[in-house]
Structure 1
């Protein structure tokens, strides 16, 4: 009887989890995604400013450790058990390792290649997520119009950063490959979460795994890489680090992993093409950086791509 009760409970919990998943994005989810992309765009400025007081990889490690402490407090206030045995430990450590590797490659790659080139290679990730979901996740097959929408959004990003592109030097090619590998890890993290028991775990626990592993790995990597570490952090650098900890790594990632568990991967990934465009706008407004005249066209292409990816299919199928 005990086995029967456990089996029945598992069936009920699976049914509940399935009913929470949506085939399409609703208005609230879309608005949340735009806000998240805006925050991630602002993060690009925050990272640049915080580099005046903290080395890049150490900065990433401090961000994860600070957000981990906040997440632990959040879980305690809500009475959530982060260490309860639910069969997700191995998968969680895998997701955390992929997450840590992604940011290590991004920060290291940026020391070899330009920001413009790194953004283009990093934003191959939505394609990888969509193809992986199409091949590996039942119910997330990509339609032709969605593939066209992703391509349209990627072209928009390429248009925005076209001024900074040219044939790479050997050094830049090394950085390009690092950032491309980071894109693969970003996609792999999303697919591991979507295609495993982690999709039924709380978003708090999923994020906990990733912050814990990256918080442990990145400061050690910073030492091994010979980074300067904490140099002379002023109030502005500290404020930018605090923004990354509280707003980005804690609040925005918690919201993102909640969305990943409930909505189709391809539809979510299309919105992330807004992030580099918001980053350009943030750099122009806050740092006085030059904005390309083609930014408006880029924004239109990205928005058109998002619309195509999230367009409702006709009854006969699109």
Structure 2
């Protein structure tokens, strides 16, 4: 197993013309211009209202356009570069974690996590980690488009990145993690699959940095009809997010089963963690996990929930 850490410079600027609305571009550009001039924009007291579901849907459409994105594939590599470019244009500083594992057929597969921090404001000593995996399963029987699982969740994270730029103080408290290697080679176990999250969590534990995070929110398959959490999630996070959901006018329910997900390694490292997903999505890991199965309102719901939680948490610390 090997690791290569590459740090890219912070380049505040305007947002991608391909997917941003004019208002979104103007807001992000003005925020970054203020930072460049040595001033900070005021707090966005209701920043969750700035999250745009249609924007997240447009992001998902772009991501799905790369086709199936199994780890080690050319499509996965091209998508990674797109994500790095996208985050950099928004003003985030990115680094990469690379590791290799041997597949059952003997091939060496490289996985690459992308970590993004907003460097233009003094960071909190304890961050909230928000993560989403962007890979899709490597299947021979069918092509998995990964619209909800790898697409919708990653799109929400990118729209969170755009929205957080509007409040640099809040962004400085967040670490965004785009995770590779969620899908297993054969069957999801503690030793097969979750390669990127297991590697990062192990690194945090070995380097005694797990205490630098007060929470980890992992976004799994999203964009369908329901919004749930896995029952082994941290109870305090569950309580806080359920209360936030009620304020926003919907409910957050426990999934009817426990599964391994990317929150598991971070929880094992001692970080309070929760996994959010659509536990009843009928097209998961099928050829029918397509863009038309996603709903912009559902994407907005999860984005607003996460933003409400971190904004409320800031006022209570």
TM-score, normalisation: structure 2:
0.29
Please state which structure has a larger fraction of its residues in strand.
Answer: 2
Q: Which structure would you say has the larger RCO, counting Cα contacts within 8 Å and 6 or more residues apart?
A: 1
The higher radius of gyration belongs to 1
